[in-house]
Structure 1
């Protein structure tokens, strides 16, 4: 799993082009593990990711290479889709299966109809208290580090939006301690910053039986879907003298952001960081937050800039076109 970049003078892959790589993260790997491996495969240390996945989780992890790392700040803000399994009847310290058992109430009286009714209060714009064992910083230190050090951490609630919380099938069963549980398969589409573990916890609480996450798979980040994700081991089979294949800047931006085509004078003005007149863009290919920037493309199809509206003007927040 080592992702160390070869020492100076050692043979290494050719540096990959600027772009994104959508990876299907394996279970047991941290997001940092994947970045480390990608640095070696891409032949550069300039690699970042758009949104952490817990080691237990699998699925879409968007990686930026080279100049595409500048896109990641905005990709992080795109909506996300997950499939998950929630175990009702037990609560844990981490709100997932990796934590210690807090309570075993049992879910013998919980039906799928009750579950579907309960998820209604967790759908739409809601205030959510993130899981204490999370990467959120408290006074400069990650919350999970404080919890592991024995501190009681209480995080402030924050607004998130759960666009979909679909309940599929339920499987009654018994936990290792004999407690009757109900494993429920769900699909969640939500805004950035939503904790699926916290949804599992809150669903269990609303039903009075406790709940935690036992499986999580991210199937989409913005316009980057699982069906287009690459397997890390398959990427590792790329010949050593061949640059890693990436999704180029223009295609990467078109996949998630609303778009605008520029004239030559507009593209030239943006390359110098100048404002241009605001024009309503073409809609993004997937539902996206209204505050995400607009991707602007030059006459040659290249990504020129990301724009934000300021009154009647479009202001470049990121410029890719050379001056």
Structure 2
């Protein structure tokens, strides 16, 4: 079991708080020097934020690319400059209940090129797109390859808002990392001949990690809720058990003979299921992409002080 200063926290981020602000809450509560997250949520969005604490930050590289699932309310008939309810309304063509939502959903399922929302964290020449927009610059983002694995419309509710007929959709989408649900809402509106934006957004899954296992940000306790590096690594990578002198060698960054197998990356655990390293296999030996610091491995923690 990893000590309480090193591991991963599953947090239910509230609306109105940035992902970085949530990281700072965990940093203050844990006392750890290094804390980070595995994928930004917009301030207005809620739901699952995966946060690494201490040596857990070294695992984030292997978590950021995991697929994600969201629930959202999309409003068809109104467009905004941010593709969500936080922005300024820019287009109000309206939308009735007669539109072919199913056909549009089919069109936006599977692999596709998606232009990210303009007000986003995408970097353009080293500067975030949202900052360029705030600075009055015109931003033209190139499309990127994304995959929408599932796109379900669970409810449709036609209504009238400020004299404009709109169609509100309750949706659930499972998407590849880097997919913007706001851009999906925008493109769904265009596909039915109207406009669209996200009214509410909640992330429920990041790879195998579930919102139902997360804790509210203001209720988090490191003693109760920190997940061990070994348990987290085993959720996303194949594992190998390394024992005895070889475990000591791995913990000290020494390369050892590898168990053959068709794996790109493998988590190396000791007999107590503590993570030692993440490695690839090269010329019959493990090549380390990440080695857990000695203070974060109970079997070797006496050899060095706490990382904090």
The answer as to whether partners of 2:12 and 2:46 remain within 8 angstroms in 1 is yes
2:32, 2:271 → 1: CA distance?
A: 30
Distance 1:49 1:121, change over 3 A: same
Residue equivalent to 1:286: none
1:66-105 Cα offsets, whole Å, 9 max, x none, are 0001111221111111111111111110010111111111
2:210, 2:266 → 1: CA distance?
A: 20
User: Could you state the TM-score of these two structures normalised by the residue count of structure 2?
Assistant: 0.87
Higher relative contact order (CA 8 A, sep 6+): 2
The answer as to whether partners of 1:276 and 1:315 remain within 8 angstroms in 2 is no
Residue equivalent to 1:287: none
Distance 1:94 1:276, change over 3 A: farther
1:265, distance to aligned residue in structure 2 (A): 5.6
Please, which of 13, 17, 20 is the counterpart of residue 29 of structure 1? Answer: 17
1:314, distance to aligned residue in structure 2 (A): 4.2
Residue equivalent to 2:214: 229
**1:39 match: secondary structure:** helix
1:304, distance to aligned residue in structure 2 (A): 1.6
Residue segments in structure 2 that go unaligned for 5+ positions in a row: 295-299, 301-308
Please, which of 281, 300, 303 is the counterpart of residue 272 of structure 2? Answer: 300
The answer as to whether partners of 2:255 and 2:285 remain within 8 angstroms in 1 is no
1:256, distance to aligned residue in structure 2 (A): 2.7
Residue segments in structure 1 that go unaligned for 5+ positions in a row: 1-14, 282-289
Residue equivalent to 2:303: none
Q: How many residues align?
A: 292
The answer as to whether partners of 2:228 and 2:274 remain within 8 angstroms in 1 is no
Question: Are 2:249 and 1:277 equivalent residues in the alignment?
Answer: no
Residue equivalent to 1:255: 235
Residue equivalent to 1:89: 77
1:254-278 Cα offsets, whole Å, 9 max, x none, are 2333323335465345332426435
2:293, 2:43 → 1: CA distance?
A: 37
Alignment of 1:159-170 (within 5 A): 159-170=145-156
Distance 1:115 1:20, change over 3 A: same
Residue equivalent to 1:124: 110
